Structure 1
Amino acid sequence: MKYLSIGILALSVWLSSCISDSENAQIIFERDKQKIEEFVRENPIPSVKEFSDPALGIRIFWQEVSNSGRKAFLGDTVVVDYVGKLLNGNVFDTSIESVARANNIFFPNRPYEPFRFAFGYESVIQGFLFGISQMEEGDKATVIMPSLYGYGRQASQGIPSNSILMFELDYIQLITPEDQ
């Protein structure tokens, strides 16, 4: 019986090693999309406008639409306040001091101010960048993304590996070369 158990264990390890990383990534991606849809069904997000692309799995819910017509293009500077959360509601990062303090993630040496970055040139997670690309200056929206567009398999500062991320974004300002 002992050898049978060892044999079954060895067989299961061998079979799991036959699944490629890309197949595992696809399984995780499909699972993430399903969890996002379940989350949205069970936790409706008030919105005046929505975006959903089943192929991407990214969902965007606008709380405010500015109709400014000002969208970011490669190299523009974007200024945004944000709150990053896991689906369970745990806040893992924010640009807003009061939110950091309320969620026990405040760091006294960190400046809490709107995040300013060169669109398409700085290292920003893909789902965050995609959300901004769909928004206009003055919009406020919640972006929910599969782990593939967040940190993927990498755990990062309170974010477990393969975590679905949710960002509340307040697109404060767009600075184009013409504005400077």
Structure 2
Amino acid sequence: MTVSLAACADGSESKDSSSSSSTSKTVSGLTKMTGITATGELGKKPKVTFKTPFSVKNNSYQILQEGNGEAATDGDRLCTQQIILDAKSGEEVASTWSDDAPECGILIGKNSIDEAYYNLFKGLKVNTTLAIGVNNSSSSSSSTSSTLEQYINVMTIVSKSKSLTRAEGDKVTNIPSNLPKVTLDKNGKPSLNLNGYKPGDKLVVQTLIKGKGAKVKESNTVSANYTGWLASNGKQFDSSWDRGSASDFALNQVVKGWTQGLTGQTVGSQVLLIIPPSLGYGSEAKSGIPANSTLIFVVDILAAY
């Protein structure tokens, strides 16, 4: 499935409204909307109009402006500026444009997003604007909800970057000999040898591979591949590698050992974290994790946004 972008191939920044026949991408599993128009300079905040009240279905879309940048391919992470519009009134209720804070959570990959949306976003060019319909209507309740019943998310793809699948950078050689030993298989998945390690009550942060990307901020969302083991016996309790896709998490909303240990690291790095209970789950037991456990993680930082 491809999008015809001939109208924008010259890279012109002229205004382009988009409920035209040129926006012809059809995606199985999604409903194509009509009746929404966007105008304005490509890659900038568009002016969006539609007749109100407007009715939308879940998993509906319309391409409003066809971009003039590079096309999204497998492994690309897309950053989008977004406008949330009340479908009933047309009112703008939220926007990332005002704070220049694009969302970068779309990773083009069959294991990363729903197949229908994978087929929608793959091939779209940077500076494309599209609308996604969301319908939260419920026949079980007639009360007014703080959540919009129907809204339109207008997304403009403002940039793309190739997302890593494993740590990439310079291997660190001066690693203390008393730490657990980490080995990697051909795909980059780590395994652990405790090496007789006896954990203390302090956080241990040891970079294993030094990435060359941007520094991670505490306020970032981080995309990572990781595996976790119990320090008491080396038993694995979790691994994104086994699930087949990286995990995204807000760094300020995870256990303190992750927040403290990954803040200031660089994208592309692989980091060994040994987290005492006070910076982990403490006296609370979790699935596969007894209370008061010291945890060992090997984390590949693939992206931060």
> Where does residue 81 of structure 1 map in the other structure?
225
Counterpart amino acid of 2:229?
K
Indicate whether 1:166 and 2:296 are aligned.
Answer: yes
> Where does residue 196 of structure 2 map in the other structure?
none
> Where does residue 114 of structure 1 map in the other structure?
246
Aligned to 2:211, what secondary structure does the other structure show?
coil
Identity %: 28
Aligned counterparts of 1:73 and 1:161: Cα–Cα separation in 2: 26
- Relative to total residues, which structure has the larger strand share, 1 or 2? 2
Gaps of 5+ in 1: 1-39, 47-55, 98-110, 176-180
Aligned counterparts of 2:179 and 2:272: Cα–Cα separation in 1: 13
Aligned to 1:159, what secondary structure does the other structure show?
coil
When the two structures are superposed, what TM-score results if normalisation uses the length of structure 1? 0.55
Indicate whether 1:140 and 2:275 are aligned.
Answer: no
Counterpart amino acid of 2:213?
S
Deviation string, structure 1 residues 56-87 (Cα, Å, up to 9, x no partner): 7111111100243422241x221011101111
Deviation string, structure 1 residues 22-66 (Cα, Å, up to 9, x no partner): xxxxxxxxxxxxxxxxxx7754547xxxxxxxxx71111111002
- Relative to total residues, which structure has the larger helix share, 1 or 2? 1
Which residue, 66, 70, 79 being the options, matches 2:215?
Answer: 70
> Where does residue 102 of structure 1 map in the other structure?
none
Q: Structure 1 residues 151, 137: CA separation in 2 closer, same or farther (over 3 Å shift)? A: same
More contact order relative to length (CA 8 Å, sep ≥ 6) = 1
Q: CA RMSD in A?
A: 2.3
> Where does residue 53 of structure 1 map in the other structure?
none
1:18-97 residue pairs with structure 2 within 5 A? 42-45=178-181, 57-74=202-219, 76-87=220-231, 88-97=233-242
Q: Flag as ranges the 4+ runs of structure 1 deviating above 6 A.
A: none
Aligned counterparts of 1:135 and 1:167: Cα–Cα separation in 2: 15
Count of matched residue positions in the alignment of Structure 1 and Structure 2: 112
Counterpart amino acid of 1:148?
S
Q: Looking at CA atoms only, which structure, 1 or 2, has the larger radius of gyration?
A: 2
Aligned counterparts of 1:44 and 1:155: Cα–Cα separation in 2: 24
When the two structures are superposed, what TM-score results if normalisation uses the length of structure 2? 0.34
Aligned counterparts of 2:241 and 2:180: Cα–Cα separation in 1: 24
Which residue, 272, 275, 280 being the options, matches 1:150?
Answer: 280
Indicate whether 1:131 and 2:275 are aligned.
Answer: no
Gaps of 5+ in 2: 1-175, 183-200
Deviation string, structure 1 residues 67-126 (Cα, Å, up to 9, x no partner): 43422241x2210111011112100111111xxxxxxxxxxxxx5421102232x3x111
Q: Structure 1 residues 168, 70: CA separation in 2 closer, same or farther (over 3 Å shift)? A: same
* Mapped contact 2:225–2:240 kept (Cα < 8 A): yes
Aligned counterparts of 1:140 and 1:57: Cα–Cα separation in 2: 20
